[in-house]
Amino acid sequence: MLRLGYNKFYLQGGDWGAIITSLLTKVYPQNVMALHLNMMPAMPGANALGTFYDILGWLIPSTLSSKEIQKTHNPFSKFGLLIVETGYMHLQATKPDTAGTSLNDSPIGLAAYIIEKFSTWTNTENRALPDGGLNKRFTNDELLTIVMIYWTNGNIVSSQRFYREMFLDRRCEALGKRYVSTPTAHASGLNELYDRTPIEVSRHSYNITHYTEIDMGHFAAFEAPKPLAQSVFKFVKDLN
């Protein structure tokens, strides 16, 4: 951005974008005007006070401001869900080349590996459906286009190395403990596998000035582009 001549700018991210934009905001706070996230990243060295309020919200739901989150908030059941759904993460964080090389050799294997995520991560209830509920939010052409980007470029291995590189980098752990004082918005996906983070928790790591809940899962910009864009534009407008 600086090379393009922009000394001040806004950032938006989800998934790895949420992690990268959070790190950028911590390292370059003088350049980032505001940060908009559709996923609260679980950074290495997470805030202990946030963890306390996470558990308190489970024990006393009324301490949470979101009525939707009050209904189901349970950090321990969420942890169990993450154990079930993050086998890929452990594999990619330890042996990315082993898995990646195999996927680069099989288009069917690559498709199965990638498309499965668009079922479960859109809504965990899709796991019980015969077709995985894939076409509830996406067309087959859209899903195959994503697979083909990986297949034609042979870049599944490099995408998986992200995990190993991050988890081995001690700088990320140190930065994970640093508070983000930059104005931050959180567009929380009600079906986000890695989110549903109450503002009472996230505000101990970020300066949360805006919070909205949207009917979307993990792939926010893909599933609900209009509501997400509206959240971004409203956030920027309110700041000005």
Catalytic position from the list 150, 163, 194, 206: 163
> Of 150, 168, 186, which closes a domain?
168
Contact 104, 157 (CB under 8 A): yes
Catalytic position from the list 36, 186, 210, 218: 218
Give the pLDDT confidence of 162-216 residue by residue, as tens digits: 889 888 887 777 777 788 999 999 999 888 876 667 777 777 789 999 999 899 9
Catalytic position from the list 10, 15, 28, 88: 15
Give the pLDDT confidence of 62-115 residue by residue, as tens digits: 666 566 665 666 666 666 777 888 889 999 999 999 999 999 999 999 999 999
- Domain enclosing residue 95, as ranges: 78-168
Terminal CA-CA length for the chain: 21
The answer to whether residue 204 is catalytic is: no
In a domain, 1, yes or no: no
Nearest one of 70, 32, 66 to 186, comparing CA atoms: 66
Nearest one of 174, 169, 163 to 46, comparing CA atoms: 174
Q: Which residues contact 172 (CB under 8 A, 6 or more apart)?
A: 23, 43, 44, 166
In a domain, 102, yes or no: yes
The answer to whether residue 36 is catalytic is: no
The answer to whether residue 218 is catalytic is: yes
Number of domains in the chain: 2
Mean of the per-residue pLDDT values of the chain: 86
How many whole angstroms separate alpha carbon 52 and alpha carbon 234? 31
Same domain, residue pair 157 and 101: yes
In a domain, 2, yes or no: no
Same domain, residue pair 82 and 163: yes
Contact 46, 36 (CB under 8 A): no
In a domain, 173, yes or no: no
Same domain, residue pair 60 and 102: no
Task: Using alpha carbons, list the distances in angstroms from residue 218 to 55, 56, 122, 147, 191.
Answer: 23, 25, 6, 17, 7
How many whole angstroms separate alpha carbon 184 and alpha carbon 87? 31
